[in-house]
Structure 1
């Protein structure tokens, strides 16, 4: 049973990886890279909103690049005042 699930996961992961890489190459998906300013602000944001470091890095990167909406299942981002969390429609 485990191997069947693992094989399905591997298939989906391979498809998504290829899809994402292809769309990056086509310029459809862009990467927002952290920099020194973002990394310095991440600690303050983590403390301000009580975020784990990786969540704070995501939020700070969004703020730096002017991203105001985020699609996530992580409810911690709802504490971040400058981000609108997009929820899946019922």
Structure 2
């Protein structure tokens, strides 16, 4: 479990000061951490809509993660997840990114629990 994809739920909640999210990030800080453009977009959108303070700090934080590409193959996997698990498109793209690149998933979103179990993706953070 040395490669972990970090879902927007963890990043957004940590920026809001949620101790569970902060602790989760602290526990995985020595791993190879990644996001994709979906997570970048979700975090920035929420920050613009509700956040206060310096947006550049959010950009700096997001830029500390490896950025994984949304390839054609990732999109094809996501299409299957939308129909198979009835996931929303962004969640499907996040899960497909983990599957394609071989990353565990750190998330606070329980929607991923059943899907990760079925797809053999290690889920960190959901109880």
Tell me the TM-score normalised to structure 1 length: 0.67
User: How far does the alpha carbon of each residue in 1:15-43 deviate from its partner, in whole angstroms, 9 at most, with x for none?
Assistant: 2322333x3xxxxx211111111112211
Report how far residue 50 of structure 1 moved: 2.0
Superposed CA RMSD? 2.5
Tell me the TM-score normalised to structure 2 length: 0.50
Q: How many residues align?
A: 76
Q: Greater Rg, structure 1 or structure 2?
A: 1
- Match in the other structure for 1:42: 78
Structure with bigger RCO (C-alpha 8 Å, 6+ apart): 2
Unaligned 5+ segments in structure 1 are: 1-5, 24-28
User: How far does the alpha carbon of each residue in 1:2-21 deviate from its partner, in whole angstroms, 9 at most, with x for none?
Assistant: xxxx9x92226442322333
